[in-house]
Amino acid sequence: MSRDKQGRFAKGASGNPNGRPAKSDELRRLLEGSADAVASKVLEAAAAGDMGAARLVLERCVPTQRPVYPAVIFELDPDAPLADQARQILAAVSRGELPPDQGRALLDGIASLTRVVELDEIARRLAELEERSHEAPA
């Protein structure tokens, strides 16, 4: 497996050069012919009170409910420093203008953005240092 300087797989090089294991294809072929029978057995077991089978049926057949949030308007200065934006979000939560779970999601987003900004700054500084070291007389 060849990797580039950043540790990523080089273009055109697979992280799994041998492909999917043959056993998984064999299992798929076996299940193809009896999938309906297996599904019927699982449904029967679920109907008979087997909670593991019931959970399996529900996990596969009933989509997970994801919360849908209505738009909330509160004061947030997008040009303010990230720490100030976080304080504005906390203030909106404390005033009841923003539900706590939405506030947390926004704060998590700010934390992620902060890490990206820090990495950008580190990369910029590193590039400047490398450029200076190449310009310096030997």
Q: Give the angle 70-103-71 at the CA atoms, nearest 5°.
A: 15
Q: Is residue 77 included in any domain, yes or no? A: no
pLDDT band at 69 (very low <50, low <70, confident <90, very high): confident
pTM: 0.49
Q: Residue 26 is part of which domain span?
A: 22-61
pLDDT band at 72 (very low <50, low <70, confident <90, very high): confident
* 3-class SS shares of the chain: helix, strand, coil, % to 5: 60, 0, 35
Q: What is the spatial distance between Cα 64 and Cα 124, in angstroms, rounded to a whole number?
A: 42
Q: Is residue 40 included in any domain, yes or no? A: yes
Total domains present in the chain:
2
Residues 92 and 125 in one domain: yes
Question: Each residue of 87-110: pLDDT tens digit?
Answer: 999 999 999 999 999 999 999 999
